[in-house]
Copies of this chain bind each other. A is one copy, B any other.
Amino acid sequence: MAAQYVSVNGGLVLADDAKIGVSDLAMHRGYGIFDYFKLVDGKPVFIDEHFDRFFNSAREMHLDTGLNRTQLRSTVEELITMNNMPASGVKLLLTGGYSEDGYKMGVPNLLVMQYPLNFPKENALESGLKLASYNHVRQLPHIKTIDYLAAVRLHPFLGENGLDDILYHKNGIISECPRANFFIVTAREIITPTSNILKGITRSKVLGLNIDGYRVVERDFGLDEMFSAKEAFITSTTQYALPVTMVDGKTIGDGKIGTVTRQVRHQLYKLI
């Protein structure tokens, strides 16, 4: 069920009435940043890390958040209380603001929106995700901007071909999925790329896990190394860890969820 309320610049508004003037720079120049965290049993998960990243993204893009950290926290709490969706996602969205000439930044608009969580289908957990590799680097990948032009454009292609997501690489060196980080598992290592990525909060949690017999390592690797991996998986706020069993039509490992992926997923659940 959709959320009843949205917060617009610190004030609660009925979702159906929540609107933004047509001169906003997000609409004219795709200029904005966001962050997204989940609520489990009504409680925000890793909210401090998400707030850190949100304020950092704003600073990097020269956008004033309008609210300070304490005020934003109150705004989020008020919204959560009013919407009463104990299992949900909360999105903080900060736009380039109303621009007189459609190019220069204005005073940013700050939206806080709540969404029902879409849990992965049970079969995605067992049979895994099918990805298509794509040579692309998001501009400013280390900042959580609203730039998803390439990914959204490819969405119809994924649907037509029974694929679940895209895996970005740059001339064969893997980086990330549009909305998730990527990991492979080799004989003794769990490896995740370090270049041209957004450093996900869930990714950082995986880096801190203890998986018996494995070191968790940050380093770049290519498509070839991925195709010879034992397992592959993605991580994200909504998906925790999900197995990847096929890329470009080729099977990864034995094509089923691996024991390491299962352990990572289990440990993330325990952590949250």
Write the nearest CB–CB distance from A56 to chain B, whole angstroms: 14
CB atoms of B152 and A22 under 8 A apart = no
Write the nearest CB–CB distance from A1 to chain B, whole angstroms: 12
Please indicate the chain B residues that have their CB under 8 angstroms from the CB of A179 in the complex.
103
CB atoms of A146 and B27 under 8 A apart = yes
A243 at the binding interface (Cβ < 8 Å): no
Q: A30-B30, A145-B30 are in contact. Are A152 and B19 (CB under 8 A)?
A: no
CB atoms of A140 and B145 under 8 A apart = no
CB atoms of B27 and A32 under 8 A apart = yes
A30 to B96 Cα, complex, angstroms: 11
Q: Which residue of chain B has its CB nearest to the CB of A154?
A: B62
Question: Which residues of A, 117-151, contact B by the 8 Å Cβ criterion?
Answer: 118, 136, 139-140, 145-151
Please indicate the chain B residues that have their CB under 8 angstroms from the CB of A184 in the complex.
none
Select one of B93, B105, B149 contacting A140, CB under 8 A.
Answer: B149
Please indicate the chain B residues that have their CB under 8 angstroms from the CB of A111 in the complex.
22, 27
A21 at the binding interface (Cβ < 8 Å): yes
Binary contact track A175-217/B, C-beta < 8 Å → 1, others 0: 0000100000000000000000000000000000000000000
A235 at the binding interface (Cβ < 8 Å): no
A151 to B139 Cα, complex, angstroms: 11
A25 to B151 Cα, complex, angstroms: 12
**Residue in A22, A24, A105 whose Cβ sees the most chain B Cβ within 10 Å:** A22
Binary contact track A87-109/B, C-beta < 8 Å → 1, others 0: 00001010110001111110000
CB atoms of A148 and B6 under 8 A apart = no
**Residue in A18, A91, A113, A139 whose Cβ sees the most chain B Cβ within 10 Å:** A139
A8 at the binding interface (Cβ < 8 Å): yes
Please indicate the chain B residues that have their CB under 8 angstroms from the CB of A2 in the complex.
100
Binary contact track A45-83/B, C-beta < 8 Å → 1, others 0: 000000000000000011000000000000000000000
Question: Which residues of A, 1-45, contact B by the 8 Å Cβ criterion?
Answer: 2, 6, 8, 18-32, 34
CB atoms of B22 and A18 under 8 A apart = yes
A127 to B45 Cα, complex, angstroms: 56
A219 at the binding interface (Cβ < 8 Å): no
Q: A19-B19, A19-B22, A139-B136 are in contact. Are A149 and B145 (CB under 8 A)?
A: yes
Give chain A's interface residues, CB within 8 Å of chain B.
2, 6, 8, 18-32, 34, 61-62, 91, 93, 95-96, 100-105, 111, 113, 115, 118, 136, 139-140, 145-153, 155-156, 179
Listed by A's residue number, 6 A-B pairs whose Cβ atoms lie within 8 Å are A8-B22, A19-B20, A20-B20, A28-B146, A29-B147, A62-B153
